[in-house]
């Protein structure tokens, strides 16, 4: 399944992705974006890809995560 992944080494906590997609992302205790773990729905994918393109530090991506069962 596809999920959002944040590179915490790169995220500067600008908040753009969190405010654009509050159903997918929240702030962690360090003020960085934190994925809630929700599966990316196909209806949201284009919007998410656009947000990914506009992240100032290229810290966000969608990854195909294999489940073990």
Q: Does 4 bind ligand SF4 (CB under 6 A)?
A: no
Q: Within the chain, what is the greatest distance between any pair of CA atoms?
A: 36
Of the candidates 1, 5, 49, 57, which one interacts with ligand SF4 according to CB under 6 A?
A: 57
Q: Does 14 bind ligand SF4 (CB under 6 A)?
A: yes
Tally the C-alpha atoms within 13 A of residue 18's C-alpha that lie toward its C-beta: 15
Q: Does 15 bind ligand SF4 (CB under 6 A)?
A: yes
Of the candidates 26, 39, 45, 56, which one interacts with ligand SF4 according to CB under 6 A?
A: 56
In sequence order, which ranges of 1-69 are alpha helices (DSSP H)?
A: 16-20, 42-54
Adjacent-strand bridge partners of 25:
35
By the criterion CB under 6 A, which residues form the site for ligand SF4?
6, 11-18, 33, 55-57, 59-60
């Amino acid at each position: 399944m596809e999920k959002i992944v944040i590179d915490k080494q790169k995220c500067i906590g600008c908040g753009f992705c969190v405010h654009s997609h509050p159903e997918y992302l929240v702030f962690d205790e360090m003020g960085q974006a934190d994925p809630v773990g929700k599966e990316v729905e196909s209806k949201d994918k284009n919007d998410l890809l656009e947000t990914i393109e506009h992240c100032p530090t290229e810290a966000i991506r969608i990854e195909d995560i294999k489940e073990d069962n």
